[in-house]
Amino acid sequence: MNPRLATFEEDSWQLRSGEESHQERPEEFWMPDLEIRQNLKRGDAVKLIFDFEGYNEDGQIEIGGERMWVIVQDKIEDFYLGILDNQPAGIDEGFLDKNSEIYFKAEHIIDIGYPPKEYLTERFGKKFLEYE
């Protein structure tokens, strides 16, 4: 399967560019260094902003956002493949769920974490880390 970013048209959600948000408000919107964002490893955690479409009380389409953690699984050219690590609150089940696979790029990453190996082993099994 070729990597592709989610779109509103096909998925009812898409990722917000952290780089664009940072450029618009650099004093308010911190970003990890590009070199770090481009060199993540399997098991690293990244925070992404998921934008989703919903309807307001007047029936008009409204865009909402939710920041969520994704565990890096693989890197494919300039894409990462990750696994969503929490259940979305603002997106209907079935469109995006905990454990959904997510393609993203370095531009989408707004924070980075390094979960303990014990957590990753408990969450994904030993083979997840043996793949490194």
Q: Give the tens place of pLDDT for each residue, 49-86.
A: 999 877 778 888 888 889 999 999 999 999 999 999 99
Determine, yes or no, domain membership for 3. Answer: no
Residue 108 has pLDDT above 80, yes or no: yes
What percent of the chain has a predicted confidence (pLDDT) above 90? 64
With bands split at pLDDT 50, 70 and 90, how would you rate the model's confidence at 88? confident
Range of the domain at 85: 8-130
Residue 59 lies in a domain: yes
Look at residue 117 in the predicted model and tell me its pLDDT. 92
| Rounded mean pLDDT, 84-98 | 79
2: exposed, middle or buried (Cβ count in 10 Å: 0-12, 13-18, 19+): exposed
Query: Per-residue pLDDT averaged across 115-123, rounded?
Result: 92
In this prediction, residue 73 carries a pLDDT of: 95
Radius of gyration of the chain (CA): 15
Residue 81 lies in a domain: yes
User: Position of tokens 């009380």?
Assistant: 57
Q: How many domains are contained in the chain?
A: 1
Q: Residue 88 in contact with residue 66, Cβ under 8 Å? A: yes
Give the mean model confidence (pLDDT) for residues 24-28.
Answer: 91
Does any domain span residue 2? no
What average pLDDT score do residues 93-104 get? 86
Q: Is the pLDDT of residue 35 over 80?
A: yes
* Residue showing tokens 């993203």: 104
Nearest alpha-carbon partner for 7 in 56, 53, 55: 53
Single pTM value for the model? 0.89
